[in-house]
Amino acid sequence: MSKKLELSWYNKNKKIVVEPRVLIENSKYSYFNSKKGKKNIDQNLLIHGDNLLGLKAIENEFNSKIKCIYIDPPYNTGSAFEHYDDNLEHSKWLNLMYPRLKIMRNLLSEDGMIFVQIDDNEQAYLTIMMDEIFGRENRINTIVVNMSNMSGPKINSAILGKRFPKIKEYILVYSKNRDVYEMKIPKYKKTDWDPEYNLIIPELTEDDYNIIQNQSLEHLINKISSFTLHSLKSWLKDNKIKDSLDWRLENSYRIVASKPNTALLRIASEMKFDSVMSIIESPQGLKKLIKTDFNRNTRTARIELVFAKDNIEVFFGDHWNDIVTTGGVSQEGGVRFPQGKKPEKLVSRVIETVTNPGDLVLDSFLGSGTTAAVAHKLNRRWIGIEMSEQVFTHAKVRIDSVIDGKDDTGITNISNWLGGGGYKFYELAPTLIKIDEFEQPIINSEYNADMLAAAIAIHEGYRYEPSQEIYWKQSHSAENSFLFVTTNHINDEYLDSIYNQMKEDEYLLISCKSFNSHLDKKYKNVAIKKIPDSILRNCEFGKDNYNLNIISPPNYDEEVNEDE
């Protein structure tokens, strides 16, 4: 019996072996703006199809390459949503999320991160599941996001005395490898002046401030002896300067607060000083600026001088209460999606926290296309997967508008987006194996030679990149390992002609319809398999829909029944 703590649910151990499908470009829907340039068209993918099949289709090529995954999966809330079917029980929801998340982990780069937005109904279950898949040590944050207002039908449950009104959701944040990930935590500007910052060092320049920030205080040792410390209010009055928020912000580099610091106090209490300020080193090795006339008779003496400039901007915490879901968010991108669209501001904060321009972003529940639109505006590469007709009516329309520079909503202005780029549009190939009228497995007649070769390459773990010079070098898995797929019968003459072209250190796997019985043992560095027999046990063929069959995001502005 396993001693590992994990969540169990009905059918958890029922193996789902998904068929790795080939992606087929539908050039009719691929898009770029010739006036804006063709930059990144090959690096952005819009995929139409079941998202589990879509994830499996990209797993080989994009393994360990995706820097950021943001998904907003369907919520198991129990109220109807037009793009999905009826509500399912917890175990069904978990069963269908489980394989998707496992593939997503494979897709993440070693320093990559995943953000999953979810509501109360499955948040606790999902956390334990993700602990199992990604490792509890890689759970970085559980962010709470305000996603609604205290108004309208939402407060009915409170009026009836049934529950607190629900206004928040969660974003579960996991890294793939805690040892190598890195986040750029964003900051926001305070709107009010903190009255604690009520002292000024008039002689301090911005260059001096920068020296202090860079921990090069030894360059200021002589200068610090000439610094003076004054009450901000008195100094402004004495120098006939009109007090204002703008003036304080402009001079925040020399305005300070005195704050308690017990570690510094212990050190400074053993020292003598001959100037108003001094520099001492903290137990952590950081050089700190202190005032020397601190009260030596109290353990809470205000000794450390902290600059206002360091605290005008403060880091966002794990409660994001600045996200607005009203006032036009449903119209962002020029496509109306009133009940489920996430604000571009929210998605951009996620993407910018963990990626740089050129990094790859994935959303396998693309919906109205928010993630792809935001990633494009931020000059990130992206992959979006959407199973429904929304890919045409919402996502494609929205992304095309971004490329043409016609979308002036969302983060367009703050990101200085003017248009450009493009993407390729892909459909999932049909299943490779079909059952004929005699109940026998056969190759799907919709597959041409190239599609077949590409499909077998995925099954066998090869990369399909046909050589222009040597016909049998269709796919490769290593520098000297190749795959050749053919519907021809392989006889001695056919095999010998190939072998005579091979180098001594090359290995070849041949997948064919039939071959002479002795040929699979003729050459040590040539293996032969018969198709479709060789891949029948690889996966589940013929299934085109792993639909979650549950509703998607809740209504943010137009809730009908909060008690559901």
Residue pLDDT, tens place only, 367-385: 999 999 999 999 999 999 9
Residue 540 within a domain: no
Residue 549 lies in a domain: no
- Cα–Cα distance, 459 to 58 (Å, whole number): 12
- The predicted model gives 442-448 an average pLDDT of 92
What was the pLDDT predicted at 149?
79
The pLDDT assigned to 338 comes to: 56
Same domain as 416, residue 394: yes
Share the mean pLDDT of the chain: 88
**One domain for residues 152 and 36:** yes
The pLDDT-based confidence of 329 (bands split at 50, 70, 90) is confident
User: Does 34 lie in the same domain as 142?
Assistant: yes
Least confident span in 307-311, 401-405, 492-496, 532-536 = 532-536
| Same domain, yes or no: 201 and 176 | no
Token duo for residue 49 = 């199809």
Please check whether residue 556 lies inside any domain of the structure: no
Residue 88 scores a pLDDT above 60:
no
- Kindly tell me if the per-residue pLDDT of 153 is higher than 90: no
Q: What was the pLDDT predicted at 214? A: 84
For residue 202, give the DSSP letter. Answer: T
DSSP3 helix / strand / coil % (the chain, rounded to 5): 30, 25, 50
Q: Are residues 290 and 325 in the same domain?
A: no
Q: Are residues 90 and 204 in the same domain?
A: no
- pLDDT for residue 37: 57
Of 313, 334, 369, the position where a domain reaches its end is 313
pLDDT tier at 212, thresholds 50, 70, 90 = confident
Q: Say if residue 86's pLDDT is above 50.
A: no
Is residue 56 a part of any domain in this protein? yes
Tell whether 18 is covered by a domain.
no
Nearest C-alpha neighbor of 199 from the set 258, 140, 139: 258
437 and 503 both lie in a single domain: yes
Backbone angles phi, psi at 58, to 5 degrees: -100, -5
pLDDT band for position 554 (50/70/90)?
very low
Q: Which two tokens stand for residue 413?
A: 């202005």
Best CA proximity match to 380, nearest among 39, 11, 15: 39
Sign of the C-alpha dihedral computed for residues 483, 488, 490 and 493 taken in this order: negative
Q: Is the pLDDT of residue 144 over 50?
A: yes
Query: Which CATH number is 495's domain given?
Result: 3.40.1350
pLDDT for 559: 40
Q: Give 157's pLDDT tier (boundaries 50, 70, 90).
A: confident
Q: What is the mean pLDDT of residues 311-331?
A: 84
Does the structure show a pLDDT above 80 at 552? no
Query: Are 176 and 195 in a shared domain?
Result: no
Residue at 8 is within a domain? no
Whether the pLDDT of residue 556 is over 70: the answer is no
450 plus 517 within the same structural domain: yes
Claim to verify: residue 339 and residue 472 sit in the same structural domain:
no
What is the tally of helices (H) and strands (E) in the chain?
A: 16, 26
Single out the residue in 371, 399, 428 at which a domain terminates: 428
Q: Which domain holds residue 282?
A: 189-313
Note whether 415 and 329 are same-domain residues: yes
Q: Alpha carbon 111 to chain centroid distance?
A: 11
> Of the ranges 145-154, 315-324, 336-345, 483-492, which one carries the lowest mean pLDDT score?
336-345
pLDDT of residue 416: 94
Residue 504 lies in a domain: yes
Q: Does the pLDDT at position 551 exceed 50?
A: no
Helix (H) or strand (E) holding 113: strand 108-118
What is the number of structural domains in the chain? 3
Q: Whole-angstrom Cα distance, residue 49 to residue 389?
A: 9
Token code pair at residue 97: 């999320």
Under DSSP, is residue 353 helix (H, G, I), strand (E, B) or coil?
Answer: helix
- pLDDT score, position 328: 67
How many angstroms separate the CA atoms of 170 and 142, rounded? Answer: 7
Q: What is the CATH number of the domain that holds 30?
A: 3.40.50.150
What average pLDDT does this structure show over 58-63? 94
Contacts of 167 (CB under 8 A, 6+ apart): 146, 147, 148, 149, 150, 154
Residues of the chain with pLDDT > 90: what percent? 66
383-441, pLDDT tens digit by residue? 999 998 999 999 999 999 999 999 999 999 999 999 999 999 999 999 999 988 888 89
Please identify, among 313, 337, 372, the residue that sits at the C-terminal boundary of a domain: 313
Q: Which residue has the tokens 């402004």?
A: 236
| Sign, Cα dihedral of 88, 99, 113, 392 | negative
The Cα 453–Cα 84 span in angstroms is: 35
Burial class (CB in 10 A: 0-12, 13-18, 19+), 376: buried
Alpha-carbon gap, residue 540 to 537, rounded angstroms: 8
Q: Cα–Cα distance between 450 and 475 in angstroms, integer?
A: 11
Is pLDDT of 245 > 70?
yes
Burial of residue 3, with CB atoms counted within 10 A of its CB: 0-12 exposed, 13-18 middle, 19 or more buried: exposed
**Residue 545 belongs to a domain:** no
Residue 496: what pLDDT? 97
pLDDT reading at 549 higher than 80: no
* Pairing of β 475-478 and β 463-464: antiparallel
Amino acid residing at 499: Y
Whether residue 4 has pLDDT greater than 80 = no
Cβ–Cβ under 8 Å, residues 332 and 344: yes
**Is the pLDDT at 41 greater than 90, yes or no?**
no
Q: Say if residue 69 is in the same domain as residue 172.
A: yes
DSSP state of 198: -
Q: Which residue has the higher pLDDT, 169 or 84?
A: 169
Q: Which residues contact 69 (CB under 8 A, 6 or more apart)?
A: 104, 107, 108, 112, 113, 114, 115, 361, 362, 363, 364
